[in-house]
Amino acid sequence: MRPLANLKVLDFGQFVAGPLCGLLLAEFGADVIRIERPEGAPDRDVQPLGDGEPGGAIYRHLNRGKRSLAMDPFHGATRPLLDALLARSDVVIANVPPQTRTAMGLDFERIRAINPGIILAANSAFGETGPLAAQPGYDGVGQAMSGAMHLTGEAGQPRTAYVHYVDYLSAALGAYGIMMALRMRESTGRGQVVHTSLLGSALLTMAATLMEERALGLDREGSGNRAQSAGPADVYAARDGHVLLQVVGPGMFRRCARLLGREDWLSDERFQDDDARGRHGAELSAVVASWCAPRSVQECLAAFAAAGLPAAPVLSPRQVLEHTGITAGGFWLPGAGLPLTRIPLALSDCAAADPPLPPAPALGADTRAILDSLALDPAALAALRAAGALGIPGGE
């Protein structure tokens, strides 16, 4: 039995932070119902795959193993249906601003009156208080307002990360908070709100740099791929591609210097500790770049590995899919066709989804079954369908 097998979750999430939080629970057994409007949520077709299957890449990646209920939570007439679902659920996930949750009927005081033990996982862009609380936002606002964009890319050319790491961290923190709230409920019988935010998650990733800035006032600028607090640590062009090398600490630095034939570095005052090597990283990177340039990626990696230095090839998405080390590492779900990643979390005494979770559902695929389980008034449901507030495939 999987640890969350009896957990019932209503997932109103969209795009990444909310849906991933729900997926993390579904992976370990929770019954997660994704709720979206009858016309479909705006994240459903992002990154279309063109294979005739329902949903784009983001939807299919983050909503597998869930059931789909097509219902408009903003339509006042759906409140009886919403309340019936709330009454029998353990967790509600909603990554929207506070005022939007209220418009959906998901403000905590209201849902707690229906179900005192319910847990609301509320993720917003800027938190629940302060002048920005009502504003919407995506992953990029966290990157922009945490200082991360300023330090990514070159000086004067801020860049976002390609991946939505702020969303992913927010989702993980949300699932972590849900587990703590469930543990507390065992003792108190009461539910509570689990608050997370994109900006808060982004600031968490930048905490050390912000502490440094307050203490020392270094006013750092972006330095591309080159690290600023260790070295040599950069991306280097080899004869047939690029390699990442990360040298941190005195032991690695000694081994790197000997590999490159630059034992003189060991007595050079500019390179006496990680901080100094970061300040003079451009000089170190220039030497490594010259060493890598005539060699192949594999020659560079083999030499770095023999010296005990952390290094990796810089792979394109296509190369990731073809890399034998990745393929053999058990990172992909078997038999999925598309390269769906496993949740990178394993408990030694508990398999996650085994067999793997079923694919992400078509819009409203489970609406009929969920409605039947609630035993609601058929006439009222017919009126909701007529008003366009419910979606059932085939128009049943």
pLDDT at residue 352, rounded to an integer: 57
Percent of the chain scored above 90 by pLDDT? Answer: 84
pLDDT at residue 351, rounded to an integer: 62
d(CA 346, CA 353): 10
pLDDT at residue 383, rounded to an integer: 87
Residue closest to 225 by CA, chosen among 217, 216, 238, 234: 234
380-391 average pLDDT score? 88
- The DSSP letter of residue 311 is E
d(CA 172, CA 22): 10
The structure tokens 């502490």 sit at 211
In tens, the pLDDT along 209-242 reads: 999 999 999 999 999 999 999 999 999 999 999 9
381-391 average pLDDT score? 88
**Secondary structure (3-state) at 59:** helix
Burial (CB count <10 Å: 0-12, 13-18, 19+), residue 78: buried
Contact 177, 121 (CB under 8 A): yes
73-95 average pLDDT score? 95
d(CA 14, CA 35): 10
| Other Cβ atoms closer than 10 A to 5 | 10
Domain borders along the chain are 8-205+333-395, 233-314
pLDDT at residue 1, rounded to an integer: 73
The three-point CA angle 188-190-191 to 5° equals 135
- 82 or 379: whose pLDDT is higher? 82
161-177 average pLDDT score? 98
Residue closest to 119 by CA, chosen among 79, 197, 178: 178
In tens, the pLDDT along 124-153 reads: 999 999 999 989 999 999 999 999 999 999
In tens, the pLDDT along 185-203 reads: 999 999 999 999 999 999 9
Half-sphere exposure of residue 314, counting CA atoms within 13 Å on the CB side? 15
Contact 281, 233 (CB under 8 A): yes
Thinking of the domain 233-314, which architecture would CATH place it in? 2-Layer Sandwich (3.30)
267-280 average pLDDT score? 97
| Other Cβ atoms closer than 10 A to 172 | 17
d(CA 265, CA 277): 10
User: Where does 8-205+333-395 sit in CATH, by number?
Assistant: 3.40.50.10540
**Secondary structure (3-state) at 41:** coil
In tens, the pLDDT along 317-371 reads: 999 999 999 999 989 988 778 888 989 988 888 765 666 789 999 999 999 999 9
pLDDT at residue 381, rounded to an integer: 86
Q: Which amino acid is it at 29?
A: G
pLDDT category at 394 given cuts 50, 70, 90 is: low
276-305 average pLDDT score? 98
d(CA 48, CA 33): 23
pLDDT at residue 54, rounded to an integer: 78
d(CA 173, CA 192): 15
Contact 71, 391 (CB under 8 A): yes
**Rounded to whole angstroms, what are the CA distances from 219 to 155, 160, 212?**
11, 19, 9
Q: What is the mean pLDDT of the chain?
A: 94
**Secondary structure (3-state) at 291:** helix
Q: Contacts for 173-180 with beta carbons within 8 Å, 24 or more apart? A: 173/201, 174/17, 174/18, 174/21, 174/93, 174/121, 174/123, 175/21, 175/24, 175/25, 175/121, 177/121, 178/21, 178/25, 178/91, 178/119, 178/121
Residue 253 structure tokens: 């630095």
d(CA 197, CA 133): 10
Residue closest to 357 by CA, chosen among 340, 345, 339, 369: 340
The H-or-E segment that residue 197 falls in is: strand 193-197
Q: Which amino acid is it at 338?
A: L
